[in-house]
Amino acid sequence: MPLVSIITPSYNSSKFLLQTYNSIKSQTHENWEWLVTDDCSTDSTMEILQEIAINDFRVRIASNSKNSGAAVARNNSLVRAKGDFIAFVDSDDMWDCDKLRKQISFMENCGINFSFTAFRLLNENGHSLNKNIDINNNDSFDYNDMLRKKATIGCSTVVLRRCAFEEISMPLIRTGQDYALWLKLLRQNHRAYLLPEALTSYRIVSNSISRNKFKKAKRQWEIYRKIERLSLLRSLECFAYYSIRAVLR
């Protein structure tokens, strides 16, 4: 079994953190390390993480020196990763027990470097919203596809083959850093391959900064213009695709 480094940022995650850990602990692919960087939580998150780490040697925790956002927290964990594969899961999401086994097998059998899966939506209390994302897609996606948001690529579904990329780090923006990373990797002539099976449960948390639609649209535009440095015309074209898909989804 190849070693999988699982990357998680945490901030005031005490309500959901144990559920996330238990979903990792139950993986049928057992060769993993969980690298969690806390972003100066003010609740009991660190105490919970320390208790988990005492009882599971595969869990390695760290903390940011000041509250800096999820990108800095993830990058703190990425530089400590030792795995053959890099996986991401947020501190309020959960994996099915076969998630890693199926996804690593999919990548190994097909020679894939970048994969993601479909995912299901839950409300804050963990109840199903009866909605699966990317379940009907069955394709791979390049840089131009993802500029137009032809797939969602949920962060907690992604697995990367570490040796295929010169450098894996998230751009230092407060939101949308995962999408900006996917673009950065796909720009290097890679493709993202979808395993069209919902293997991750994504929790919709009411106070999450990623749920504000106006801020999400503003962030999307800034990624086009400031990070990808697209022309105004190209940015308008891609933003039109993004807007249409956001409404239809």
All structural domains of the chain, each given as residue ranges with its CATH number in brackets, are 4-206 (3.90.550.10), 212-249 (no CATH)
Dist CA 80 CA 62 (whole Å)? 10
pLDDT at residue 182, as a whole number:
98
CA 77, CA 94: separation in Å to the nearest integer?
Answer: 19
Residues 82, 5 contacting (CB under 8 angstroms): yes
What local confidence, expressed as pLDDT, does residue 214 receive? 84
Average pLDDT over residues 202-210: 75
As a whole number, the mean pLDDT across the chain is 94
Mean pLDDT of 167-174: 92
**Arithmetic mean of pLDDT, 36-65:** 97
Least reliable range by pLDDT among 89-98, 170-179, 183-192: 170-179
Residues 216 and 162: their CA atoms lie apart, in Å, by: 29
Q: State yes or no: pLDDT of 136 exceeds 90.
A: no
Mean pLDDT, range 105-130, rounded to an integer: 95
Lookup result for tokens 């898909």: 245
Averaged over 23-52, what is the pLDDT?
A: 97
Rg (CA), the chain: 17
Residue 70 near residue 177, CB atoms below 8 Å: yes
pLDDT digits (tens, 9 = 90+) for 137-154: 778 999 999 999 999 999
Position 58 scores a pLDDT of: 97
**Global pTM exceeds 0.85:** yes
pLDDT confidence tier of residue 208, bands split at 50, 70 and 90: low
